[in-house]
Structure 1
Amino acid sequence: MRLRTVLATLTAGLAAATCLTAAGPASANSTGDNACSPAVSIDRFSDALDKTTYQGTFVGNFSALAVDRDGSLAALEDRSSLFGLDPRTLRPASAVHLADEKGADLDSEGLVIDRDGTRLITSETEPSVRRYSRDGRILDRLPVPSSLLVAPAGRATSNQTFEGLTLLPGGRTLLASMEYAISGDSAGIVRFQTWRRHHGRFELAAQYAYRTDAGLGVPEVQATPDGRLLVLERGFTAGVGNTVRLYLADPRHVTDTSGIENLTGQADVHLIKKTLLTDIATCPSLGATAKQPQPNPLLDNIEGMTITGHDRAGRLRVLLVSDDNQNPAQTTRFYYLRVRTS
């Protein structure tokens, strides 16, 4: 979702966007001492792609990341393009335009690369989950519960639906996270919808509930190797800046909420339990600068996340990216984290 901010409109900042001529971290520090919390540290960040273009296409607006089968990095922008990036330099190597069945652009937010190389991509305006070939052809469209559709067809608000998408270990269960609550549910309780693979197709399965911190939404969710979830929570306050927190959540032993019309904090509904890993504002700034007020100049509108591997100590290597909304007062920034989940 493109967060509304009190910022200057797009002017000369876009005109200055040029093709990427160099890539690499804007700040690099791999000492292992850059602790954000006991569970999370940051190695470095990179602004290499900020306000750049690739073959005439603006590079930015990133809403999701995934590691492709060949080891390259896939970066989804919310204005209907999917980029292939070099995992070391971030240099773009490809760009594929995406569209719906009528040829219209998507508000593309969530990304999973399936085991056969197909792309599962959400759009938050309907919402929808579609399967695409590597070259951008629609292969399939997954069913969505009527209650999660945008009003008046359902109870969701446009641009507040499927933001996160992840495939659970084993590859049989797909999970999408709503960004905000649907009408009739208490504020802060968001629904996580799952699908189970059956004879090669994903069919509707259980639904779970997750409570965000006050005023925050869920822009991304990623499954860890043990079946738990990394959940990003994010918000924005004009004149103050972004709030971005990383949680570890456990979707096991919780209530299937697919048959519950209204979630209002019922005692017999077991929500997904979560544990705070870090508030990104507590990370060392590493020399980063911000173009607008921020609690920490390292912060921006962080929206995408993927797990790229693990280090020798067993910590997950987690890559985050911010959505600059194609706005001169925001930055496309990649964040390289190490996350301990045990």
Structure 2
Amino acid sequence: MAASALVLGGLIVGPAGAARAAGVCSPTVAAVGFSDALDKTTAAGESVAGISALAHDRRSGRYLALPDHTEATALVWPLAGLDDVPVARPRVAGPPLRLRGPDGRLLPGRSDTEGLAVLADGSLVVSAETGPALRVFGRDGAWRYDVPVPPRFAPAPVGRAVPNAGFEGLAATPSGRRLVAAMERPLLGEDPGSVVFLDYRIGAAGRFILARELRYRPAPGMRVAEIAAYREDRLVVLEAAYSARRGNSVVLADAQIGPAAGPGRTRVVHRRPLADLVHCPTMGARSREYQRNPLLDNYEAMAVVPRAGGYTIHLVSDDNHSKHQTTRLLTLWATLP
């Protein structure tokens, strides 16, 4: 993005990140545009569906999208066209990267993979709710090692995690030396309004070790759907909820997680609301389900990328492989603390 103002989908963006005109969602967030180009498509014999995580690969300049399950094996899709102007043209940009386990075999498509982070050296970290697991893979999809997870984060009754509400969010900081894994919901028997994030740092052996637990309090009734790091000490948190009466609720918040170093095994995270996306313009979007704003959907994937004067936030919705839901890319522009 050049320093001079650009017009993107009706949004005027200047070098200071100022946003005007029809795209405004909040004082700091504006909608740039959306695309349903990926919806109900196939590639390499697989459905491009169920997208649960999105990460920007600085090495290739492309984005990587992770489905929570597939018909065959666990995989990562390379995507291009998300940043095309004036209109995004998201598309699969090559064959999928298929993930392999410690035994060298392809991981099954029902591995319930939910979070994805790209490290500075190009390797990938993937979180799975089954287990739960945090696994590091090479750029060829080969397993490298498992990041240790405390036993109480296993699903109940073995641990305290609500079943199917484990490591929904995953983020690596820009340096790649800090990793944060976010639970979707509070642990059973602990503070019912507080969600635990695990804060890892690179240890002496070059592998991630647990530094502390972070306590994050989402808006009432909301779950943590995804996180993305835009600074070493800051995250954007995607909070979500659904009801048949209200449709999807989607809120963005800033989380100040503090420095990687420091005393204490637990740290309370400061939350600052950024935008409730129900207030975004509809932008001509249509929905197959009832929504208070048809632009909304089951957004579960997010990437935050620095640009001149601000940040681009890409959200992708998980259609749950359902004909009643949509795989949608929503692009936002934000000024962040």
1:70-81 equivalence runs, <5 A: 70-79=60-69, 80-81=74-75
The residue that corresponds to 2:121 in the other structure is 116
Q: Is the 8 A contact 2:50 2:318 kept in 1?
A: yes
2:224 is equivalent to residue 218 of structure 1: yes
Deviation at 1:256, TM superposition (A): 7.8
The residue that corresponds to 1:237 in the other structure is 243
Runs of at least 5 residues in structure 2 that lack an aligned partner in the other structure? 1-7, 13-19
Deviation at 1:205, TM superposition (A): 1.4
Deviation at 1:186, TM superposition (A): 2.5
CA distance in 1, matches of 2:166, 2:240: 14
The C-alpha deviation readout for 1:195-218, integer Å capped at 9, x for no partner, is 111121111211110111222110
2:329 is equivalent to residue 330 of structure 1: no
Task: Point out the more displaced range, 281-290 or 74-83.
Answer: 74-83
2:56 is equivalent to residue 67 of structure 1: yes
Report the AA paired with residue 172 of structure 1: R
Deviation at 1:164, TM superposition (A): 0.9
Report the AA paired with residue 97 of structure 2: V
Match of 1:158 among 138, 156, 163: 163
2:90 is equivalent to residue 85 of structure 1: no
Amino-acid identity (%): 38
Q: Is the 8 A contact 2:232 2:259 kept in 1?
A: no
Find the residue that maps to 1:94 and give its secondary structure.
coil
2:103 is equivalent to residue 97 of structure 1: no
CA distance in 1, matches of 2:271, 2:239: 11
2:304 is equivalent to residue 282 of structure 1: no
CA distance in 2, matches of 1:38, 1:135: 42
2:290 is equivalent to residue 293 of structure 1: yes
Match of 1:185 among 179, 187, 190: 190
The residue that corresponds to 1:22 in the other structure is none
CA distance in 1, matches of 2:268, 2:210: 19
Alpha-carbon RMSD: 2.1
The C-alpha deviation readout for 1:144-187, integer Å capped at 9, x for no partner, is 01111112321112210101111124322111100001111122
Report the AA paired with residue 63 of structure 2: L
The residue that corresponds to 1:196 in the other structure is 201
Runs of at least 5 residues in structure 1 that lack an aligned partner in the other structure? 1-26, 260-269
CA distance in 1, matches of 2:263, 2:195: 13
Task: Point out the more displaced range, 249-258 or 106-115.
Answer: 249-258
Find the residue that maps to 1:281 and give its secondary structure.
helix
| Residues 1:161 and 1:127: Cα distance change in structure 2 (over 3 Å) | same
Task: Point out the more displaced range, 329-338 or 245-254.
Answer: 245-254
The residue that corresponds to 1:17 in the other structure is none
